[in-house]
Structure 1
């Protein structure tokens, strides 16, 4: 199986490579990327069967990551199996990943024990979610009609704002208009009952968005 791996942390790339290589000839790593721009370029010239990628890969060039990157990859490579590794645990973001068509989501903290299981499930044509992620999704569904339930796009705007990006930078990164991003920011803060940027950052840090 031809695999491309992508993460902005070299240590994670090394760990992924070692894990896959430990299975002998079952996997062949045909490329590595450290941000969204590198990943898009690599996939355009190197075919593969499975992409294992981080969700959040911020860089100085403001290249795509997150939901917009995944949606673009799905559109350009509709047959590609995509497994997301992430430290983020916000249910709205995970639901957004599933909505754009990822094949699986694995919590980085559980990568050692869940990576191969996830790949096997994906190869069998099914969706894989880490145990912790499944529980969070189930809990989110139960309270989906309650105040404070953000949409995936609103959650991503909060994530970017908490990283220090401006509304204009978020619009450029996500391919949305400044007006749309501004409205999503207002809607998210209204739903969450937040009054300012510090409260937004504190929310993002404590709710799996950073």
Structure 2
């Protein structure tokens, strides 16, 4: 609602063609309503594995290859941002800076350029420890921190339980963590949830 109000505050410059509360609603909306720009959250509710996170963004890119995608998120993890960009996302705006950076991001995307919010850019350039994680490892950590089981992550992502378990172990090794509680605490304190 805040995003809709912000865009409507610019008068006739924008026309909102639809809103979606889940990945399923997003895909249905894109099927029936053409648009010039998709502004979406990274985490979307839903049970289908391709309706959330990196899988959702890849599915949008596959179905609508020319559609500019702007992601609004609280996540600032460099590995996840790199994963978003790898799927073809052209803009990432930190929700905390939305009022300040949204119009700049939209203008940059309309001009064919990429936009990363100031905080996201600083974290990527700073190369913090989470940048050592691959996008898939960071996604696994994000799901685990949300309380999703390894088996469920495998189902959602279309990967094997063995692969998810290995990505979890690799992430923990890279981060120097010894157990699930440390992993959960780390994810909460580093913007992975």
Q: CA RMSD in A?
A: 1.6
Question: Going by fraction, where is helix more abundant, 1 or 2?
Answer: 2
Which of 131, 134, 140 is the matching residue for 1:157?
Answer: 140
TM-score, normalisation: structure 1: 0.86
Q: Secondary structure at the match of 1:102?
A: coil
Identify unmatched segments of 5+ residues in structure 1: 1-13
Question: Going by fraction, where is strand more abundant, 1 or 2?
Answer: 1
Match of 1:193 in 2: 176
Superposed, 1:130-149 pairs within 5 Å as 130-140=117-127, 149=132
Q: Secondary structure at the match of 1:30?
A: coil
Aligned residues: 192
1:46 aligns with 2:29: no
Mapped contact 1:148–1:191 kept (Cα < 8 A): no
Superposed, 1:1-210 pairs within 5 Å as 14-59=1-46, 61-63=47-49, 64-140=51-127, 149-210=132-193
31-40 vs 123-132, which deviates more?
Answer: 31-40
Identify unmatched segments of 5+ residues in structure 2: none
Cα shift at 1:178: 2.0
Cα shift at 1:97: 0.7
Cα shift at 1:57: 2.2
